[in-house]
Structure 1
Amino acid sequence: MKIAVVGPSRLPIAPPFGGGLEVFVHRLVSALRLRGVEVDLFAARGSIGHIQSLEFPGIDWTGFEASARDDAYPPGAMESEAAAYRRVRKLLERSDYDLVHNNSVHPAMLVMDPGKAPPMITTLHVPPQPELQQIVDTLGPSNGRFTAVSRFTADQWRIPTPVDVIHNSVDTDQWRPGPGGQGVVWFGRITREKAPHIAIDVSRRLGLPLTLIGRCVEPPYFRKEIAPRLGPDIRWLGSLPPEEIARTVGHADVALVTPEWDEPFGLVIIEALACGTPVAAFARGGVTEVLKDSPAHLAVPGDVDDLVRAARAALQQPREHARRTAVRRFDIHTMLERYLTLFEGVLTR
C-alpha cells in the first residue's frame, strides 16, 4: 500500500508541535511506516520526513507579530499557501498512489479530479469552514470518504455519505505514568479560545500551584490575561518537546482543560490520562466524548465554580484508573487498526 498523507500547511510536523493536528499527523504517519506502509508526507517547511520538493511554505509572522493568530495570515502568505496546495494537487492527480489521506483544512484538496486522482479520505479535525462546506455541498459524494475525530465534529458538518468516527490517539509507551504531587498543569496553545487564564483562577481557588505549557499564539491576549498573573504559584514554561511535556504532566496532580469554544476532540486530555493524571474540563464539543467515563470531571462551560468542583472530584481519581482509560480507549494501536481497516476497505471497493 502506497499512501500520500497531506498534512496542515501552517506549522511543521515536528516537535515542539504547534497543535493537536500536527501531533495527529506525526503519530499516524510514524505508526503507518512502522507497520511497513509506504507513506509520502506533504507538509510545511521544517517537518520531519516529508517531501521537501513540494513542501508548504508555512506561516512567518516576522514583522507582524502583534497580529499573529492561527486563523489569520500575514501579507502574501495566503497566496503562497494556495499555490503550494495547487502544486501538490496536480502531482496527486497524476500519481500512482493507492490512496490519499487528506488532513489539511484547505479547499484545494477537495476539488481534485476524481477521474484522475487516487481515492481520497479526508479527516475532519475542525468545525465546519464555510468555503470547505460549500465545496462539499456542491460536489457531493465525489469528494471521497470522510472520517472525523469525534461524533460531535462529524455531526457539525453536512457530509453526503456516512462519516467514520475515529478518535485521536496517544502513544502510551511514550506518555508514561508519573507520580503526581506537583499541583495543576495546563498545556496547549496559549490563546483566548483555550482560556488558560481560567486555569489560573481555578488553581488559586484550589490552593495549588499551576504550570502552563504551550506556544503563545495570541501575544495581545498573553500580555493582558496571562503575563500579569504569573508569579511564584503560576509558571509558564513555553513550548517544550513532547518528552518534557509528558514528564511535567506526569508530575501534576490534575490537568485542567478550559475551552471557550467547542473543542473538536481535546488531545491534551488523553495525553494527561496516559500519564495517570486525572482531568477536569469544561464540557464543550468532543470533550464530553473523551471524558464520558468520568462525568463528574466535566463542568458547565464557562462556570469557574463548577470547574473547581470538577477538579476536586478529579483529584480523587486513582492515577491507575486515569491511565487505564487512555490505554483501553485511545492507544495509538487502536487508532492505527481502525485507519488500516478503513484504507483497505476503500481500496477493496
Structure 2
Amino acid sequence: MLRLLFLSTPVGPLGSGLGGGVELTLYNLAEEMQRRGHEVVVVAPSHSLLSGINLVKITGNLQIPAQTQTRDVPISLPENGVLANMWEYAHTVQTQYDLIVNFAFDWLPFYLTRFFSTPIAHFISMGSMSLALDHIMNQVAETHPGTIGVYTRSQAETFAFADTCEILSSAVDLSLYQFCAQPDNCLAWVGRIAPEKALEDGVAAAVATGIPLKIWGKIQDEDYWQSILSNYPGASLEYCGFLSTEALGASLGRCRALLMTPRWIEAFGNVAIEAMACGVPVISYARGGPTEIIRQGETGFLVPPDQVSGLVTAIESLDQIDRCNCRLQAEREYSLEALGDRFESWFDKIIKKD
C-alpha cells in the first residue's frame, strides 16, 4: 500500500471548474488509487468538493491561471497565496507519505522540489506556457529524472525535456456516462469559456450548418462570452452552465457530435473521451492531444486548425460514424483501470529510484 499526498491546482477550488480538465484527472486518479487499497489524501483550496476521498482544505488567495498570462510574465506569488500555504502544509506532513503528487501547473512546486525529502511526482496538465516555468521544470527534469508526467506526446513536445516525460494519458469513470445510440439534432461544445478555446469557431460552424449548439463550461472570461453573443445574435445557442460529471454525462450523449476548437496545443482534452464514453463522435482541430485520441473517420474527424469550413464538412459527414465505435474506444483505452495501471507503475518507479 502506498501513502499518497495529492496537491491540487491553486487556481480554484476542486469542483468549481476553474482548474479545467486536471480537476477530473485528479479526482479519477484519487478514486482509482483508493480503490486499489492505497491511502490518498488531497490538499486543495478552501471550498473544494471531493466526495469519498480525504480532503484537506487550505485557505489563501488563488493563483492566476498560467494560460491567461504572457510567456515572459515574471513569477507571481500573491500575498497569503493558497499555493504557498498548500506546499507549506505538505512540507510539514511529508514524512507521513511515500510520495507527493503535484497537479499544480506553477513555478513554486518545481522550485521547492529540492527542499523535500519525500519524492515528488509532477503531473503537468498543459503545454509550454511561460519561460520561467519552462526553465524550472527543465531543471527538475535534469535533477530528478523520471518525475515529470504528461498526458500526451504532443504536449510533451512543447518542452525541451520531452524525452524524459512519462506519457500517462487520461481516463473517465465509464459508469457515469451512458451510451446513446439515437441523439437529438444538436451539437455540443464543452470547456472553459476563454479565448484560447475559440468557442466562436464552434458557434460559426453550428450557424453554417443550421444545427443548434449546446454549450457547457465555466465562463472564465465574461467579456469574451458577451462578444460571442453580440457577434452571433441570431445563433441557436443554449448555454447549459457548468455541470457535475454525472449531469454532464446524462446530457452530452444526446448530441450528434462534440466540437473541439482549441487555439493552443491542447494537452489532452478530457471532454473528448467523456463524449466518446457516451457514443458521441468528436470533431476537433488537428492540434495537440486530440490528434492522439480521435480515430479519423471512425470515432470522429480531425480538421485543419482554425478552419471553420473543415468543421462544417466534418459535421456534414457525421452519418459515416458508428457511435458504438466511440464507446468501444473509451472502454478499451480510457478506463479508470487503465489509468491506474499507468500511474501506479510510474509512482513505483519514482519511489524505488528515490
TM-score class normalised by the smaller sequence: 0.7 to 0.9
Please give the residue correspondences for 1:210-225 in structure 2 after superposition, counting only pairs within 5 Å.
210-225=213-228
In the other structure, the counterpart of 2:73 is none
Which residue is equivalent to 2:15? 14
Describe the superposition over 1:290-332 as per-residue Cα deviations: whole angstroms up to 9, x where unpaired.
1145487111111111111122233420110111111111122
Name the CA shift for 1:311/1:36 in 2 (closer, same or farther; >3 Å): same
* Cross-structure match for 1:277: 280
- TM-score, L = length of structure 2: 0.87
Q: Distance in 2 between matches of 1:336 and 1:31?
A: 6
> Is contact 1:13–1:25 with CA below 8 Å preserved after alignment?
no
2:336 corresponds to 1:332: yes
Rounded to whole Å, the distance in 1 between the matches of 2:221 and 2:66 is: 6
Secondary structure of 1:147's counterpart equals strand
Partner residue of 2:92?
91
Change in 2 beyond 3 A, CA 1:69/1:154: closer
Q: In the comparison of the two structures, how many residue pairs are matched? A: 339
Shift of 1:114: 4.3
CA distance in 2, matches of 1:136, 1:223: 36
| 8 Å CA contact 1:266, 1:286 repeated in 2 | yes
Q: Which of 271, 286, 290 is matched with 1:287 structurally? A: 290
Tell me the percent identity: 23
Distance in 2 separating the partners of 1:140 and 1:18 = 24
Which amino acid in structure 1 is aligned with residue 110 of structure 2? Answer: L
Question: In structure 2, the residue corresponding to 1:42 is in which secondary structure?
Answer: strand
Structure 2 match to 1:244: 247
Instruction: Give distance in 1, aligned partners of 2:67 and 2:172.
Output: 23
1:101 maps to what in 2?
101
User: Does 167-176 or 126-135 show the bigger shift?
Assistant: 126-135
Q: Give the distance between the partners of 2:337 and 2:285, measured in 1 at CA.
A: 28
Alpha-carbon distance in 2 for matches of 1:50, 1:192: 35
Cα deviation, residue 42, structure 1: 1.2
In structure 2, stretches of 5+ residues that fail to align are 70-75
Tell me if 1:348 matches 2:352.
yes
Root-mean-square deviation (Å): 2.7
Matched position secondary structure for 2:118 = coil
Match of 1:310 in 2: 314
Is the partner of 2:276 in helix, strand or coil? helix
Q: 2:168 aligns with which of 166, 169, 180?
A: 166
Matched, 1:204 2:203: no
Decide which moves more: 298-307 or 157-166.
157-166
Task: Give the equivalent residue in structure 2 for 1:297.
Answer: 301
| Residue 234 in structure 1 maps to residue 231 in structure 2 | no
- Closer, same or farther in 2 for the Cα pair 1:277/1:13, shift >3 Å? same
- In 2, Cα distance between the equivalents of 1:346 and 1:158? 21
1:145-160 alignment runs, 5 A limit: 145-159=147-161
Aligned to 1:105, the other structure's residue is in SS state: coil
2:42 corresponds to which residue? 41
**1:189 matches 2:192:** yes
User: What amino acid is aligned across from residue 180 of structure 1 in structure 2?
Assistant: P
Maintained 8 Å contact 2:188/2:252:
yes
Match among 256, 259, 270 for residue 259 of structure 2: 256
Which residue does 2:32 correspond to in 1?
Answer: 31
- 8 Å contact from structure 1 (residues 185, 211) kept in 2: yes
Measure how far apart 1:226 and its partner are: 2.9
SS in 2 for 1:80: coil
* 3-state SS of 2:85 partner: helix
How far apart, CA to CA, are the structure 1 residues paired with 2:305 and 2:271? 17
